[in-house]
Amino acid sequence: MKSDQDSGLNLVVKNLGVSYIRKNSNTSVIENLSFDVNPGEVVAICGLSGIGKSTLVRTIAGLVRPSQGEVLIDSQVINGPIESLGFVTQDYSRSLFPWLTVEKNIALPFKGKDISASERKSRVQAAIEEVGLTESARLFPWQLSGGMQQRVAIARALVMKPKFLILDEPFASVDVYVRLDLEDLVSNLVHSHGTTTLLVTHDVDEAIYMADRVLVLSGSPAQLSLDLSVNLKRPRVQMQTRSDATFLTLRDQLHASIRS
Ligand SMILES: Nc1ncnc2c1ncn2[C@@H]1O[C@H](COP(=O)(O)OP(=O)(O)OP(=O)(O)O)[C@@H](O)[C@H]1O
Ligand SMILES: [Mg+2]
């Protein structure tokens, strides 16, 4: 159930441009990119490898400074890292500290925050339960499978109850069945909390299955080549939804746009 307290943030990306300095010259990776995301919306971002997807979400998160345009979250221009953000990065396994247990890794975002020890404990406990890791709370990341480590990264991103969540290729490197479970897990969590979510994925089927809208980046510098609404009813059910005629039409449109 959604509650007002949980409702997600509104995102506006306006004429965004991002450049990196390479061999002493500026290389433009993203140019003139604009889109909005409504509170509670789940938006997937697709595009070929190296197109600029991670650059885009890092810029939205305030980790990379734009060379043009701006990012606004609930009308505030982003000038640096955002407090109200949960972020699962592409290299999730490197983001876990091997010398800390699952529960201590998940508790990390509380560091330096004025939140009582009992509140921390109950929130960490709740996050561990939400991702199904109760039995593994005292284990270390290196004692877990890849899929379990991804659950730890997801729990850590959710423990502060973020109103805005960015997932950059969060389910890479697990087998297909674990991946389907993680897709459902994250979909259920973000919908129950009304979290505004950006999901970067290479997997077109995953993008359609999870998102309300799919954006495609293409070209160099990258621009928005498609903004596709996913009109599939929820709750979505893996094999059933994936064989829906609408799903198959959307998949064709997306493949064509990514390749063009
Ligand atoms: N910190 C950086 N400094 C210089 N160039 C960078 C930096 N980060 C990314 N790039 C370059 O920007 C381009 C886009 O990279 P980015 O990581 O955003 O792509 P991506 O779409 O996320 O790719 P992938 O799907 O492989 O993760 C690439 O050419 C990459 O080499
Ligand atoms: Mg990337």
**1-84+166-184+198-260 CATH choice from 3.30.70.141, 3.20.20.70, 3.40.50.300, 3.90.1300.10:** 3.40.50.300
Q: Which pLDDT tens digit goes with each residue over 10-47?
A: 999 999 999 998 888 899 999 999 999 999 999 999 99
Average pLDDT of the segment spanning 174-202: 92
Ligand 1: lining residues by beta carbon, under 6 Å: 20, 22, 29, 47, 49-55, 90
Mean pLDDT lowest among 47-51, 84-88, 123-127, 234-238: 84-88
Is the predicted pLDDT of residue 1 greater than 60, yes or no?
no
What's the pLDDT at 3?
A: 46
Per-residue pLDDT band for 185 (boundaries 50, 70, 90) equals very high
* Encoded tokens for 215: 């954006």
Nearest CA residue ID for atom 24, ligand 1: 49
Give start-end residues of each CATH 3.40.50.300 domain in the chain. 1-84+166-184+198-260
Task: Report the mean per-residue pLDDT for the chain.
Answer: 93
pLDDT for 6 equals: 57
Per DSSP, what are the bridge partners of residue 224? 217
- pTM for this predicted structure: 0.94
Residue with CA closest to ligand 1 atom 30: 50
147 phi and psi, to 5 degrees? -65, -35
Compare 121 and 172 and report the one with higher pLDDT: 121
**The dihedral of CA 78, 13, 150, 91: what is its sign?**
negative
Residues 41-95 have pLDDT tens digits of: 999 999 999 999 999 999 999 999 999 999 999 999 999 888 789 999 877 667 8
CA-angle at 82, arms to 78 and 83, nearest 5°: 145
Q: Which distant-in-sequence residues (6+ apart) come within 8 Å of 132 by Cβ?
A: 151, 185
Q: Out of 55-59, 167-171, 197-201, pick the least confident.
A: 167-171
Q: What angle do helix axes 146-158 and 117-130 make, rounded to 10 degrees?
A: 140
Q: How far is the CA of 76 from the centre of ligand 2 (A)?
A: 26
| Closest ligand to residue 222's CA | 1
3-state secondary structure at position 219: coil
pLDDT of residue 4: 46
